[in-house]
Amino acid sequence: MVSNEDIIRMQLINGLGRKTISKILNYIETRDLKLNNFSDIVKLLERMGIKRLKIDLDKIEKDASEIFECCKESKIKIIGLYDMEYPKRLKFIEDKPIILYVDGDEELLDQDNNIAIVGSRTPSQKGYEISSIFAEKLAEEHCCIVSGFASGCDEAAHNGCLQAKGRTVAVIPSGHLNVIRNNKALYNMIIINGGAIVSEFPPKEKAGKYGFIDRNRIIAAISEGIIVIEGGQKGGIFHTVKYANDYNRPVAYTTNFLEEEKKPIFNNNIEIIDSFDKLANFKNKTCKKNCLTM
């Protein structure tokens, strides 16, 4: 079984992507190969004849050591695919993360009362308020609110949850240290209130071209249901809903979303939340445990 440290070293190989690494790890696991160190992995890659790889061992070791030290200093946990702490619900998606970096309570990623609230980065005032109020109401009913730590609806959802002294999970498209610079106060409040901030990326890594899309698949996977406040047929909301459909997660929309879009999108069976009663019904339907009526 390959260690987390060596998986991270594999990620640092130029030309080796997440999906290819997953296939290599599966190859190693199914054949029960005994690889004692990273040098053995490099030799295996050479035997497999994977093209376009640029392996600079000195640079890989330098960059890996920096990641390990940064995580240690910042108290960021490294959770790998083979760890007991790895979220079970992520194991069942096709394009699963192979390494997670988690600050806070990693057990929240496997709770059965997680509900995601997502929406536009530039919502209307009404949309921002709906996102905050819905998160607050759900938190009062012991839900954990999942969102993407972006400005707009995400920020409102996290803050609404915290207003009710609830716990919230932020799934971020970059490393933790880049996010802290952008919104340190919200980051700290999430951790202080027992929440979690999770990423696939090392602490100092900036958000890349596909980081936001990759983040959205995790949001959908660790949530029991998704509520869309405002958004569009393109961009992050579209991808989150698509992943939710792929993972068989219920999706609901607010009237504010439908008013903005002018027409139903994503599927023909639109569930609309336009009252606290319907919010409670959606929560009771999606979460496994029974809840009190709002």
CATH code, domain carrying 229: 3.40.50.450
- 64 and 150 share a domain? no
- 280 and 141 share a domain? yes
Structure tokens that stand for 17 in this block: 């992507």
At residue 293 the predicted structure's pLDDT band, cuts being 50, 70 and 90, is very low
How far, in Å, CA of 15 to CA of 51, rounded?
Answer: 8
At residue 180 the predicted structure's pLDDT band, cuts being 50, 70 and 90, is confident
Residue 171 belongs to a domain: yes
Residue 100 belongs to a domain: no
- 113 and 68 share a domain? no
- 154 and 269 share a domain? yes
Section 66-81 average pLDDT? 97
Residue 225 belongs to a domain: yes
Which domain, by its residues, includes 219?
Answer: 106-286
pTM: 0.92
Each residue's pLDDT tens digit, 241-283: 899 999 999 999 987 666 655 455 555 556 889 899 999 999 9
How far, in Å, CA of 221 to CA of 242, rounded?
Answer: 11
> What value does the CA radius of gyration of the chain take, rounded to a whole number of Å?
20
At residue 235 the predicted structure's pLDDT band, cuts being 50, 70 and 90, is low
Q: Residue 261: its pLDDT value, please?
A: 57
The three-class DSSP label of residue 282 is: helix
Q: Of 48-57, 91-100, 262-271, which gets the smallest average pLDDT?
A: 262-271
- State the chain's mean pLDDT as an integer: 90
How far, in Å, CA of 294 to CA of 46, rounded?
Answer: 60
- 136 and 249 share a domain? yes
